[in-house]
Amino acid sequence: MNILEKITQNQAAFSKSEKKVAEVILANPQTAIHSSIATLAKMSDVSEPTVNRFCRRLDTKGFPDFKLHLAQSLANGTPYVNRHVDENDSPDEYTNKIFESTMASLEVARQSVNVNVVNRVVDLLTQAQKISFFGLGASASVAHDALNKFFRFNVPVVYFEDILMQRMSCMNCSAGDVVVLISHTGRTKSLVEIAQIARMNDATVVGITSAESPLAQECSYVLSLEVPEDTDMYMPMASRIAQLTLIDVLATGFTLRRGNKFRENLKRVKDTLRGSRYEKRGD
C-alpha cells in the first residue's frame, strides 16, 4: 500500500511530534527522501529518535527503509485509481478520470478472471459446430463485437439483437453448439430464459456475467468479471470494456489453439478489405 496515503490516513493516530514529522514529509516528500534523519528531524523541529519512531509506526524497519517506501510511492504517481467524475469537472478532468478509471477497472477485471475457465471455453469454442453471441442493451454491442471477431475465423457464428430471433436460434441448437451470453448484471430475465432454452437443446452455455447471478446459475461455464461500476452515471461503462477485453482474450486463445496456418488465413481475410480502402501513402 502506498505509504503517502498511509501517512494521511493514520494522521489522527499520530502523537503531537509525529504529526509534525508527517506534515513536513507530506508537504515536501521529494525533499524528505533526499534528507538524512538529522535534517528531517531539524525541519520538523523534533528529535532524531522521534523521526525513527515515526517510521516504525508505519511498519517500516527504520528510516532508510521508510525512505525506500516513500521513494516508491512517489515513483508510482498514483497509478490508476477509480476516481469518480464530479459535477464541476473540466473537460480535461473528466476525460482523464474516465480513462483512468477504465484502466483501473481493467486491472481489477484482469485479476478476477479465472484462467482455467478461459482455457476450457477456448477449448469449447475451437471445437464448436456453431457459436452464438447474445446480449441485450449495452451488452448487445459487445456481442456484436464478438461476432465481428469470430466471423473472421471462418466459423459458423451467429448474433441477433432481436429477442425472438435469439430464442428461435437457441431452439435450433444441438450438441456441439456453444452459446455465449453477455450480461453485466446477469439479471435480465429474457437472457436467463435463453440460457435455459439453449441448455434444453444440448448447447453448451457460456456466460460472461456476474458470478452467482441468476444467469450464471443457468450456464455451463461462467466467465465472471468483477468490475467496480460507477453507479452515479446510470449507464454501463467499464463493464463493457472488460467484457470486450475478455472477448479479445477468447479470440486470441482461439487463434493460438488453431495454429499457424490458421493465422495465415486471418491475414488473407484482412487483405480482402484492402479494395475497400484508400491506400496509405508509401505502402
Partner DNA sequence: TTCAAGTTGTAATTTTACTACATTTGGTGT
Partner DNA sequence: ACACCAAATGTAGTAAAATTACAACTTGAA
**Binding residues among 194-223 for its own copies as defined by CB under 8 A:** 214
> Which residue in this structure is represented by grid cell 498511509?
6
Give the residue among 194, 206, 225, 211 at the shortest CA–CA distance from 125.
206
Least distance CB 174 / its own copies (angstroms): 28
Residue closer to DNA by CB (options 13, 75) is 13
Is 189 a binder of its own copies (CB under 8 A)?
A: yes
Cα-only R_g, the chain: 26
**Binding residues among 15-44 for its own copies as defined by CB under 8 A:** 33-34
When binding is defined by CB under 8 A, the residue of 19, 58, 113, 167 that contacts its own copies is 113
**Binding residues among 130-149 for its own copies as defined by CB under 8 A:** 137-138, 140-142, 144-145, 148-149
State which amino acid sits at residue 241: I
User: By rule CB under 7 A, what string of x and - marks binding of each residue 34-73 to DNA?
Assistant: --xxx------xxxxxx-xx-x-----xxxxx-x------
Distance from the Cα of residue 181 to its chain's centroid: 18
CA distances 83 to 89, 97, 201, 217, Å, are 12, 6, 45, 33
Q: What is the largest CA-CA distance in the chain?
A: 80
Chosen from DNA, its own copies, none, partner binding at 113 (C-beta under 5 to 8 Å by type):
its own copies
Is 7 a binder of its own copies (CB under 8 A)?
A: no
Residue closer to its own copies by CB (options 20, 67) is 67
State the Cα–Cα distance between residues 84 and 35, nearest whole angstrom: 36
User: By rule CB under 7 A, what string of x and - marks binding of each residue 244-263 to DNA?
Assistant: --------------------
2, three cell numbers:
502506498
Identify whether the C-beta of residue 149 lies closer than 8 Å to the C-beta of residue 251: yes
DSSP state of 186: S
When binding is defined by CB under 8 A, the residue of 16, 175, 267, 272 that contacts its own copies is 267
**Binding residues among 60-79 for its own copies as defined by CB under 8 A:** 64-65, 67-69, 71-76, 79
The set of residues, in sequence order, having a beta carbon less than 8 Å from that of 34 and lying 6+ positions away, is none
Residue closer to its own copies by CB (options 11, 61) is 61
State the Cα–Cα distance between residues 96 and 87, nearest whole angstrom: 14
Residue closer to its own copies by CB (options 20, 218) is 218
Residue closer to its own copies by CB (options 202, 212) is 212
Determine the interface stretch with its own copies among 12-20, 171-179, 198-206, 260-268 (rule: CB under 8 A).
260-268
Q: If you write DSSP's letter for every residue of 155-179 in order, what string do you get? A: S-EEE-SSHHHHHHHHHT--TTEEE
Per the DSSP assignment, residues forming a β-bridge with 208 are 182, 223
Is 129 a binder of its own copies (CB under 8 A)?
A: no
Which residues sit at the interface with DNA, rule CB under 7 A? Answer: 15-18, 36-38, 45-50, 52-53, 55, 61-65, 67
